[in-house]
Chains A and B, each alone.
Chain A
């Protein structure tokens, strides 16, 4: 099993450009999450999904959109990137209410917005 994978690993954008970050998991997990991590700060939840076709806002959703068309994939979109979105983005998945609480993380995407 590959676990949780993220693409791309690194990206540099100019202000105003758009991009999509892809997260994929092969563990058949129900829940998926997008976090951002900034220096000296904890992980902050952007959006999450409790199942295929459902998404919800987290703590810091502004400037981001998500989609979960397939159970195994969770996409994070930046429509018009801003320097404040420079961060490391982590995707995570979790089994769901019938399973444990452990979250499995992808390796992260390092995004710089100039």
Chain B
């Protein structure tokens, strides 16, 4: 089983729709979680960190479910510019240098 698993998609949704992705992780000792965004042929960039209490940044909401070992990303009122690949990132130990694990990514395509 992969340490971090994501549905590769692609998710193809109309502009204005709400879309959600999940990401599961296998190591129950994982401490910190993130969503990164990667545009085509570009580098990944941090979208948001995921906190135990859940957090929201504009149209984006991230949640953590430790009991079921998954994190989620919800995008409301999707825009064309949201089209990208979303990478789930898990750090199994606090501030570990080497153990940051990236999921393979979920592709999202927003159509007009």
Interface residues of A (CB under 8 A from B): 31, 35, 40-43, 45, 48, 50, 56, 58, 90, 94, 96-97, 101-103, 105-108
Please indicate the chain B residues that have their CB under 8 angstroms from the CB of A41 in the complex. 104
CB within 8 A of A107: which of B43, B49, B104?
A: B43
Contact with A along B22-65 (1 / 0, CB 8 A): 00000000001010000001111110010000000000000000
Determine if A107 and B95 form an interchain contact, defined as CB atoms under 8 angstroms apart: no
CB distance from B61 to the nearest CB of A (A): 19
CB distance from A60 to the nearest CB of B (A): 13
Determine if B44 and A105 form an interchain contact, defined as CB atoms under 8 angstroms apart: yes
A97 to B102, CA, bound (A): 19
A48 to B97, CA, bound (A): 8
Determine if B34 and A56 form an interchain contact, defined as CB atoms under 8 angstroms apart: no
CB distance from B15 to the nearest CB of A (A): 27
The answer to whether the Cβ of B98 comes within 8 Å of any Cβ in the partner chain is yes
A106 to B4, CA, bound (A): 23
CB distance from A74 to the nearest CB of B (A): 13
CB within 8 A of A56: which of B46, B98, B101?
A: B98
Please indicate the chain B residues that have their CB under 8 angstroms from the CB of A31 in the complex. 97
